[in-house]
Amino acid sequence: MKIIAAMSETRVIGHSDGMPWDVPEEFEHYVEFVRGATVLMGRPTYEIFGFDTPAAHFVVLSRSPQPAPGAVICQNLPEALDAAKAFGKPIYSCGGAQVYEQTIPLATEMLLSTIKGDYEGDTHFPEFDAFEWQVAEERNEERYLFRRWVRR
Ligand SMILES: NC(=O)c1ccc[n+]([C@@H]2O[C@H](COP(=O)([O-])OP(=O)(O)OC[C@H]3O[C@@H](n4cnc5c(N)ncnc54)[C@H](OP(=O)(O)O)[C@@H]3O)[C@@H](O)[C@H]2O)c1
């Protein structure tokens, strides 16, 4: 499983019901990674980004059994992982913060963009132990810095 996220320089990933920046070229980069893949998301993230995400399969974590159109709803993480694996496609954990927290320990790779600038938000990317990870690729774009981290 790969983690994919965009965060500010202070690790902000979200503010109320969205992201507090508008950097379409970074969003496009997210779209290209997840196109045709299986994505795992928390229920609020699916409500915010599901429509704009061209994944082949959506596995959505929610403790409430409410149906979500176009998604497999799972009420716990093991069930979600089984459902995601069954599709036989690359799996991306697309957040938000609660889902990143639970899936970083399971991931082999993290595709993290840092948006340049200062943004306020109410949701943050979890701290991770940088000694467990190394940067395998880095690209400095005009408005964001992309790093691909692989587990050591
Ligand atoms: N910048 C980025 O790359 C990025 C990416 C994704 C999201 N975001 C932002 O992140 C924010 C949302 O993050 P969040 O942490 O509030 O929510 P989240 O991680 O998207 O989802 C949390 C919800 O998922 C369900 N859930 C989580 N763990 C579960 C488990 N083990 N078993 C069953 N259900 C589980 C619960 O849904 P129920 O409440 O339905 O039970 C929980 O309330 C938004 O602001 C969004 O814009 C940013």
CA of 94 to the centre of ligand 1 (A): 9
Give the three-state DSSP class for 71. coil
Nearest Cα to Cα of residue 115 among 24, 31, 8: 8
- Ligand 1 centre to CA of 44 (Å) is 5
What is the domain extent for residue 20? Answer: 2-151
Q: Which atom of ligand 1 is nearest to the CA of 45?
A: 20
If one counts every other C-beta atom within 10 angstroms of the C-beta of residue 134, the result is: 11
**CATH at residue 119:** 3.40.430.10
Q: What residue's CA is closest to ligand 1, atom 39?
A: 62
- In order along its 152 residues, the chain shows pLDDT tens digits of 999 999 999 999 999 889 999 999 999 999 999 999 999 999 999 999 999 999 999 999 999 988 888 999 999 999 999 999 999 999 999 999 999 999 999 999 999 999 999 999 999 999 999 899 999 999 999 999 999 999 99
Ligand 1 in contact with 76 (CB < 6 A)?
Answer: yes
* Total structural domains within the chain: 1
